Amino acid sequence: MVTAEATAKVERTARPIPAARASAIRGRVRLRTLSNLRWMATAGQTVALFVVYFGFNYPLPLARCLACVLFSAGLNIILVFRYPPSHRLTNREATIYLAYDVLQLAALLYLTGGIANPFALMFIAPVVIAASTLNLGNTMILGAIALAAASIISVTHEPLPWSMDGHFDLPPLYLAGLWSSLVLGIGFTSVYAWRISSEGARMSAGLAATQLALSREQRLSSIGALATAAAHELGSPLGTIAVVAHELERALPVGSAEAEDAKLLRAQAERCRMILMRLARPEEAMLGSTARLPLCALLDDLADTYRDEELEIVIAAAPAQRDEPQPQVWRAPEMLHGLGNIIENAADFARSRVRVEARWSASTITVSVEDDGPGFAPDIFERIGEPYITSRPGDHAVGDTELGPPSGNLGKREGMGLGFFIAKTLLEQTGGTVKALNLSEGGARVSVTWPRGQIDGDAPPAHSQEE
């Protein structure tokens, strides 16, 4: 039976991710996605302009319209050289780029008839994209920009391209209806898309938290059963040893070396019994308050699991100033899992040596993990940190692989491509910045940098406190 205490622990572990953090996670859209959509928009706009001008022979300011289209193409080209393909945008960056798309569309519509142009319906597209990927505040900002742009071009605009015989003028009442339908369409579709996306994010976060709580509870139950059995089996022998040691202590001359040895034996037997009693209650040991350790001690503890006769793991300290004290960092779950996974990956691919270097200064703390293996494969290097990207062999079957318990570097594991992604996500939640690169002399390096006070402050990292 599950006790009330265990149930409370599961509820604390499975607490859903706060809405603010869920929105921030949901808002990280890839730059490549927006760039591809912008290329599609520029291609469609170019085709429409050429068909109207050359196909229908309708007069329009072609040079100015093409300038707007080429400006978008130029922006895409600049972004290709400025950012890697896997770059993910923050809410603010995505809002700026989508706002540009709205304004560029508004400029084209201003030159070609305002909201009387049938393509005014495309105002809905950027707002719906924002509602599906950004938080509510940024979605409302973008919606307001779209509504303001639509309102301006409904009042002032150049004539709608039409035949040479005359202009095509719509009645003011009909234009007001077009404006109203556009406003309602933007509002309804954006609210609908945001609600559906928000509910999906909350459901995913709740499911992940539930699975984590269930997995942790099962692990604790298994450890507790094993420790209880060990305590029961070893309790009797240790009790016998304690009794015999006590009798020997009484029989031997007081103050003799043999009596001191018997006293020590009895004390050690009692200590073993106390250790077994604590092991029989693993919940108190594993779910207790987060402790702090010197940075190098934490790294050495994480690396110790993967050391063997064929692999050397070196822990090095490189403070900016010789007399600067070593930071005391929190043993947050995100730190343990994230850094442990990076060290494990290095141990898996290293030939003989892994170097873990800790550097700190007055402003930053950096942990670098280097190996002498083959490095990151060129075909996946640009996408390092994305889910389901891996260099490990295998068919990516779900099992005890990347998400399972550590297995050391004996035997390379088949991976799902989720281990580095999960480690990167967890370390970023503690305030760290993760970078990966291939070394010129061979091998790979993964570095994590935190601002001072983020993992060595007076309180654990914010995400761990919320856990």
| SS3 track for 83-124 | CCCCCECCHHHHHHHHHHHHHHHHHHHHHCCHHHCHHHHHHH
Q: For the domain that residue 315 is a member of, what is the CATH number?
A: 3.30.565.10
Instruction: Check residue 13 and give its pLDDT.
Output: 39
Whether 327 and 243 share a structural domain: no
Whether 155 and 206 share a structural domain: yes
Whether 161 and 112 share a structural domain: yes
CB 387 within 8 A of CB 418: yes
Whether 249 and 307 share a structural domain: no
Residue range of the domain that includes 163: 1-287
CA atoms within 13 A on the CB side of 368: 17
Whether 163 and 310 share a structural domain: no
Inter-helix orientation angle 172-251/257-279, to 10° = 150
CB 338 within 8 A of CB 427: yes
Contact partners, residue 347, CB within 8 Å, separation at least 6:
306, 311, 313, 354, 371, 408, 409
What are the φ/ψ torsions at residue 68 (nearest 5 degrees)?
A: -65, -40
Whether 276 and 386 share a structural domain: no
End-to-end CA distance of the chain: 25
Q: What one-character DSSP code corresponds to residue 410?
A: S
In tens digits, what is the pLDDT along the chain, a chain of 467 residues?
A: 333 344 344 344 334 444 444 444 444 688 888 999 999 999 999 999 999 999 988 888 999 999 999 999 999 999 989 988 778 888 899 999 999 999 999 999 999 999 999 999 999 999 999 888 888 888 999 999 999 999 999 999 998 888 766 677 888 898 899 999 999 999 899 888 888 887 777 667 655 755 665 566 556 556 666 666 776 677 778 778 888 888 888 888 887 888 888 888 888 888 887 777 666 554 444 434 457 889 999 999 888 888 887 889 999 998 888 888 899 998 887 888 889 889 988 998 898 999 999 999 989 999 999 999 988 888 777 777 776 666 665 444 333 333 333 333 333 444 546 678 778 888 888 899 999 999 988 889 999 999 999 998 888 886 544 44
Whether 24 and 103 share a structural domain: yes
Q: What pTM, to 2 d.p., does this model score?
A: 0.54
Q: What one-character DSSP code corresponds to residue 442?
A: S
Residue type, 354: V
What is the total residue count of the chain? 467
Domain boundary among 287, 311, 334: 287
Structure tokens at 108: 């084209």
**Whole-angstrom distance, CA of residue 94 vs CA of residue 399:** 36
Inter-helix orientation angle 19-26/172-251, to 10° = 110
Closest CA to 94 of 151, 37, 153: 37
**Whole-angstrom distance, CA of residue 384 vs CA of residue 377:** 10
The C-alpha torsion from 304 through 381 and 442 to 361, rounded to 10°, is: -60
Contact partners, residue 345, CB within 8 Å, separation at least 6:
419, 420, 446
Enumerate long-range contacts of 196-199, CB under 8 Å, 24 or more apart.
197/26, 197/131, 197/132, 197/133, 198/22, 198/23, 198/26, 198/136
CB 283 within 8 A of CB 224: yes
Q: Radius of gyration over alpha carbons of the chain, in Å?
A: 32
CB 183 within 8 A of CB 150: yes
Beta strand 328-330 with 292-294 is: antiparallel
Strand spans (E) along 52-209:
none
Domain boundary among 260, 287, 314: 287
Whether 202 and 320 share a structural domain: no
**Whole-angstrom distance, CA of residue 184 vs CA of residue 178:** 10
Closest CA to 339 of 383, 388, 295, 393: 295
Structure tokens at 208: 């992940």
Residue type, 80: V
Instruction: Check residue 391 and give its pLDDT.
Output: 66
Whether 302 and 278 share a structural domain: no
Q: In this structure, is the dihedral angle defined by the CA atoms of residues 94, 377, 393 and 418, taken in order, positive or negative?
A: negative
Q: How many domains does the chain have?
A: 2
Whether 319 and 346 share a structural domain: yes
Domain boundary among 287, 315, 350: 287
Tell me the C-alpha to C-alpha distance, in Å, between residue 2 and each of 218, 221, 225, 370.
11, 10, 13, 44
* Cβ neighbours of 373 (radius 10 Å): 20
Whether 188 and 282 share a structural domain: yes
Q: Please report, for the chain, how many H helices and E strands are present, in that order.
A: 15, 7
Instruction: Check residue 7 and give its pLDDT.
Output: 39
Instruction: Check residue 90 and give its pLDDT.
Output: 87
Residue type, 397: A
CB 104 within 8 A of CB 71: yes
Whether 267 and 376 share a structural domain: no
Structure tokens at 190: 């954006």
Instruction: Check residue 382 and give its pLDDT.
Output: 76
Beta strand 328-330 with 444-451 is: unpaired
Instruction: Check residue 181 and give its pLDDT.
Output: 92
Q: For the chain, give percent helix, strand, coil, nearest 5.
A: 60, 10, 30
